[in-house]
């Protein structure tokens, strides 16, 4: 039996690439350069499976071509807003993602950003490295206390819940959540969390707000200038979800005006481009999309993709099918 032809669009952890090569007729990308749109479009005619990441745009126009061979897009990552799933489904292409395995590490990074912004850790490290630290003094680089404060979580899926567990268990924070659908009472109870009816109701209550909702068109500029203005003066925003969820210009304006106390960002609307207004904003911690970037998690994400491919090519429903 011929083995399915599989295209991996970026370099993956070695152990996972070796596992893929054992099972499939696999094309790797050792140079790790993001593929040009024309290459991805061509690949749809050449491969049974394509394994994209957030750096591959698979918009509707990609699928508008004859002779599509691809039957599954097995995405490496939980977020799949870079894939037009309706257009893929219309061409009979299945789409899977990699949930669960990255929840802990992404929540860890959200908490890292929250703590760094609250305690001015990025700013402090920059000062020290620049040789500008003049020594201890009672009023040096005063931040804001985290323990016991109120955290608002927008999007209470697996990662949002992992964030709540850290905030409540580690820092005794009060957790409020806003979610599209009603969260099961036992889930709220586990986290000692309360659900509010709207983002408008959430924002004025919170010292910190962390985003854990999906990206894509439906959540574009979910936090716009009007909503950012509802945040408490001095509040801190954390985004490990997707850049487009926040109006970056409005956020930068609120930071420069000193209305918000800071921000911790891991994702940007036009990655890898980061707007100058954010680079120069006070007390803003900026990381290069590291949410799931641990060896354990990146390997587990790869194995989750393989499990989805195994199911799919054996004629079983893949566990993580999203379209």
Q: Is 95 in a helix, a strand, or coil? A: strand
Does residue 234 sit in helix, strand or coil?
Answer: coil
Please pick, from the candidates 49, 78, 83, 306, the single residue that binds ligand 8YV as defined by CB under 6 A.
78
* Closer of 79 and 160 to ligand 8YV (Cβ): 79
Is residue 302 within the footprint of ligand 8YV (CB under 6 A)? no
Contact yes or no for 294/105 (Cβ under 8 A): yes
b/e per residue, 271-289, with b = 16+ CB within 10 A?
eeebbebbeebebbbebeb
The minimum distance between CB 32 and ligand 8YV, in angstroms, equals 13
Q: Any contact of residue 81 with ligand 8YV (CB under 6 A)? A: no
The nearest distance, CB 162 to ligand 8YV, in angstroms, is 13
292 forms part of the interface with ligand 8YV (CB under 6 A): yes
- Give the C-alpha separation, 55 to 75, whole Å: 11
Contact predicate 23/312, CB 8 Å:
no
Residue span 97-116 as binding mask against ligand 8YV, x where in contact by CB under 6 A, dash where not: -----x--------------
The residue from 232, 242, 298, 304 that is catalytic is 242
126 catalytic residue (yes or no): no
Binds ligand 8YV (CB under 6 A): choice among 143, 155, 261, 291:
291
Closer residue to ligand 8YV (CB): 143 or 155: 155
Residue 256 annotated as catalytic? no
Of residues 30 through 69, those in contact with ligand 8YV by CB under 6 A are 53-54
Q: How many angstroms separate the CA atoms of 140 and 62, rounded?
A: 54
CB 208 within 8 A of CB 236: yes
Enumerate residues 6+ apart whose C-beta is below 8 A from 292. Answer: 77, 102, 105, 106, 298, 301
For the question of residue 19 being annotated catalytic, the response is no
Q: Which residues bind to ligand 8YV, rule: CB under 6 A? A: 53-54, 76-79, 102, 291-292
């Amino acid at each position: 039996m011929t083995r399915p032809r599989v295209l991996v669009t970026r370099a993956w952890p070695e152990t996972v690439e070796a596992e893929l090569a054992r099972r499939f007729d696999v094309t790797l990308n050792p140079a790790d350069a993001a593929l040009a749109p024309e290459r991805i479009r061509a690949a749809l005619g050449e491969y049974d499976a394509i394994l994209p990441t957030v750096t591959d745009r698979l918009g509707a126009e990609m699928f508008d071509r004859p002779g599509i061979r691809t039957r599954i897009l097995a995405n490496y990552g939980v977020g799949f807003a870079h894939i037009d799933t309706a257009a893929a489904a219309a061409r009979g292409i299945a789409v899977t993602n990699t949930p669960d395995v990255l929840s802990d590490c992404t929540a860890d990074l959200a908490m890292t950003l929250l703590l760094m912004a609250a305690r001015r850790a990025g700013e402090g490290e920059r000062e020290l490295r620049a040789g500008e630290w003049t020594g201890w003094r009672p009023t040096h680089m005063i931040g804001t206390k985290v323990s016991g404060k109120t955290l608002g979580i927008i999007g209470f899926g697996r990662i949002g819940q992992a964030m709540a567990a850290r905030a409540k268990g580690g820092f005794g924070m009060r957790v409020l959540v806003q979610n599209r659908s009603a969260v099961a009472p036992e889930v709220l109870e586990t986290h000692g969390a309360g659900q509010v009816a709207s983002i408008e109701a959430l924002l004025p209550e919170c010292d910190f707000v962390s985003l854990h909702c999906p990206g894509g068109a439906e959540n574009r500029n979910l936090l716009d200038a009007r909503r950012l203005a509802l945040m408490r003066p001095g509040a801190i925003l954390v985004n490990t979800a997707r850049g487009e969820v926040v109006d970056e210009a409005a956020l930068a304006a609120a930071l420069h005006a000193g209305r918000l106390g800071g921000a911790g960002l891991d994702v940007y609307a036009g990655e890898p481009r980061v707007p100058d207004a954010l680079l120069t904003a006070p007390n803003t911690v900026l990381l290069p999309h590291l949410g799931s970037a641990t060896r354990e998690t990146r390997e587990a994400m790869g194995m989750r993709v393989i499990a989805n491919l195994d199911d799919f090519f054996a004629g079983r429903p893949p566990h993580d099918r999203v379209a």
